[in-house]
Amino acid sequence: SYSAFRFREYRLFWIAAAFSNIGMWSLVYGRLFLMRSLTGSELMLGLVATANLLPVLIFSMWGGVLADRFNRLKIVRFTRLMFAVVTLGTGVLIQSGSIEPWHILTISAVTGTLLAFDIPSRSAMVATIVPKEHLAGAIALYSIVFGAAAIVGPILIEPLVSSWGYEGLFYIIGTSYVLTVGTLMMMKTEGHKVASTSRTAIQGLLQGFSYLKNQRSISAVILLGVTMGLFGSSFDTLLPVFADEIYETGLDVGGRLLLGAGIGGLIATTAITLIGKRVRPALYLLIAGLGLGSAQLIFSRIDVIAVAVIVAGFIGGFKVVLGTMNTTVVQTLVDEEFRGRVMSINQLTWGASALGGLLMGYMAERFDAPTAMTLGGAIAILATILVGQRLVRSFGIGSKPRQEYDSTD
């Protein structure tokens, strides 16, 4: 399961991902807690999520076109460098006392735009730095570092803010991106450009949609991801509200909830790596979708912190299973020529989370956070059942799946 580490380029890519993902997780929740401290508004939390992820919804397909026309490594180097500039600049604004809510929204929109062009190239790079027979194992290992960063990144928020304020947090996030760029600079630029058959960017985009239309298995998996992005994102958006109003402890319990979610995600990733020799895509995805919706329903009605941390672990675990299986299936089935464009369309999940975050923020402002999360969980369960019918038609769900995926390599 660790054979992908034999390849130098993958090792460097994995190390860069470790720095980058720690920074990303700290940035995602650091912004939310910062906005909460400035405004106390649930709706503003939803706007932060929307400002960050809506550009992904709008621009990610164009990012996929670029990924299939230009050198993917150079694109990722540039976007990660810009992340460093933006986060360090945020630290300066906070330290100078100039930070305002509109700054956070603007910064979120900028980082979201960078993500739209970063994600397709970064996702497609994995298939170019390891042989196809090692691809599933490489994706699983990447998921492990993603899950570990989900633990480490949020854990840093409370002690860093307590010791050095929010400016210290953002300076360290910026430093993590600088380290990411430094590691990426050690990678070879050869082999990260695909010879696209399209003459123009628009033609390339249309080719991507045409290709996906004929790949029903891939489109079914992407549809479930987008659906869960819309209705399964309430935990991420509303966590600061639960920490402040339900448990009345702010960053302290918020950090514990994030730790629980991170540990759950890491356990789920490790389990997939160890036991997923014959993965049944429809079964795994359906269980994760139903589990995520159910866990959100339970979390919304809990007022005991210890139990809430455990349920947060299940939320994190089910989210990781959804993401890992989604990526593994799509990366395994897609043709190399269309990889960047298909992965960009697959990232509409992130954009859908923007709309879902705005909806959850509005509902929490209009009613309350528990009610918003309850409705989100219920809709996620219903949506999984409806979309799941298409998954079953595409893959089957019996003891002998129509398509095998080796997630342990």
Could you state, in order of their start, the residue ranges of all structural domains in the chain?
3-395
Q: What is the pLDDT of residues 313-349, one digit of tens each?
A: 999 889 888 887 877 778 777 777 777 777 777 777 7
Position 259 scores a pLDDT of: 81
Q: What is the pLDDT of residues 286-323, one digit of tens each?
A: 888 999 999 999 998 888 888 989 999 999 889 888 88
pLDDT at 59 over 80: yes
Q: What is the pLDDT of residues 93-126, one digit of tens each?
A: 999 999 999 999 999 999 999 988 898 888 888 8
Position 172 scores a pLDDT of: 94
pLDDT at 92 over 60: yes
User: How far is the C-alpha of 218 from the C-alpha of 139, rounded, in Å?
Assistant: 17
Residue 138 or 203, more confident: 138
Position 404 scores a pLDDT of: 39
Please, which pLDDT band fits residue 80 given cuts at 50, 70 and 90?
Answer: very high
Q: How many residues does the chain have?
A: 409
**What string of DSSP letters covers 265-292?**
HHHHHHHHHHH-TT--HHHHHHHHHHHH
Burial zone of 304 (CB within 10 Å; 0-12 exposed, 13-18 middle, 19+ buried): exposed
Report the percentage of the chain scoring pLDDT > 90. Answer: 24
Residue 364 or 254, more confident: 364
Phi, psi of 38 (to 5 degrees): -85, -35
Position 248 scores a pLDDT of: 63
CATH superfamily of 3-395: MFS general substrate transporter like domains (1.20.1250.20)
Mean pLDDT of 351-376: 82
In this prediction the pTM is: 0.70
User: How far is the C-alpha of 54 from the C-alpha of 113, rounded, in Å?
Assistant: 8
The Cβ of residue 181 has, within 10 Å, a number of other Cβ atoms equal to 20
Alpha-carbon 16 to chain mean position: 16
Mean pLDDT of 84-89: 96
